[in-house]
Amino acid sequence: MSDRIISRFGADTTAREVVQGLDLHGRTAIVTGAASGVGVETARALSEAGARVVLAVRNLQAGARAAADIARTARAPVTVEALDLADLASVRDFTARWGEYPLDLLINNAGVMACPLAYTVDDFEMQIGTNHFGHYRLAVGLVPALLAAGKAGRNARVIALSSLGHRRSPVHFDDVNYRHRPYDKWEAYGQSKTANVLFAVGFHKRFQDWGITANAVMPGGVMTALQRHLSREEMTDFGWIDEAGEVHAGFKTPEQGAATSVWAATAPELDGIGGLYLENCGQAPAFDPANPVVGVMPHALDPEAADRLWELSVDSTGA
């Protein structure tokens, strides 16, 4: 990756700093899971730059509170729509309601991490079901809207949030839903985060010639509701917090965690470019054990695995 795409921003950049001086009036963005954490800060930065932002959330009350907070500094409308990524009927309802209204930015931000074994309404293991299959069905269902933005002279972008956790596991195609193998919550999380990257690779391959790009983003370590399934003891053992409950200095704030998503959504240097894994507001290098805090594993960018996941996703979701 000697020709990696980099920017003037870095690990400490905030989402607001990324959009400083940008005018996004006339553009529309959907941010999933935008009721808190990285999602709400992503939505806030885009709205302050003038984009119309839709918060696609499972909890409408929490979404309404987030929208009211964002609206205090927004320069365009901020609205809330119901979306449960663990229920494909909810996803289909969302895309049907949206129709072909031009959509410039789809930011697949929502996620679940390291939960106990559970299954979605459609019988997917909860982490890959929510993090990948729900977002896959959402993106495919919104293709007409993304294409409509292109017809208006604007290239549309899809952003899939992944994680450093993708290193924990490739996609196990023979048993993605843990029907025949012991469940490991961290392996399942890693599999779902690898799937997010492979989705970006596969989506970009299929739609780049139609004016839609897709990239995956690693936001960095951020202490948010994503850790809700972890005990304090687990987080202490990992070194994420100390005995007093203080967060490790290496963690980002939600505003910093949102920066790479916002950069991926707005950076001119990414016009027409996709299928990448981005971190710290730049294209990630290949993983190197000598510097384990950054980098992407080869299995997450494997085009054959991306094609295989796409076929599985079509068969599993019917879209």
Please name each of the domains of the chain with its CATH number. Answer: 15-317 (3.40.50.720)
User: What is the predicted pLDDT for the residue at 292?
Assistant: 87
How far apart, in whole angstroms, are the C-alpha atoms of residue 315 and residue 307? 12
Q: Whose CA is closest to 81, among 41, 52, 104?
A: 52
187's tokens: 């392996």
How far apart, in whole angstroms, are the C-alpha atoms of residue 31 and residue 315? 26
User: What is the predicted pLDDT for the residue at 251?
Assistant: 80
How far apart, in whole angstroms, are the C-alpha atoms of residue 56 and residue 124? 21
User: What is the predicted pLDDT for the residue at 43?
Assistant: 98
| Helical axes 303-317 vs 185-207, angle rounded to 10° | 100
69's tokens: 């907070």
User: What is the predicted pLDDT for the residue at 154?
Assistant: 81
User: What is the predicted pLDDT for the residue at 125?
Assistant: 98
Give catalytic residue positions: 189
Q: Whose CA is closest to 37, among 53, 52, 22, 57?
A: 57
User: What is the predicted pLDDT for the residue at 16?
Assistant: 98
User: What is the predicted pLDDT for the residue at 229?
Assistant: 60
How many CB atoms are located within 10 Å of the residue 90 CB? 17
- Say how many residues make up the chain: 319
93's tokens: 């309802």
User: What is the predicted pLDDT for the residue at 236?
Assistant: 79
Per-residue pLDDT tens digits of the chain, which is 319 residues long:
458 999 999 999 999 999 999 999 999 999 999 999 999 999 999 999 999 999 999 999 999 999 999 999 999 999 999 999 999 999 999 999 999 999 999 999 999 998 999 999 999 999 999 999 999 999 999 999 999 998 777 889 999 999 999 999 999 999 999 999 999 999 999 999 999 999 999 999 999 999 999 999 999 877 666 766 667 777 677 676 677 777 777 789 999 999 999 999 999 999 999 999 999 999 999 999 999 889 999 999 999 999 999 999 999 999 8
40's tokens: 């709400």
Which amino acid is residue 185, in one-letter code?
Answer: K
User: What is the predicted pLDDT for the residue at 63?
Assistant: 98
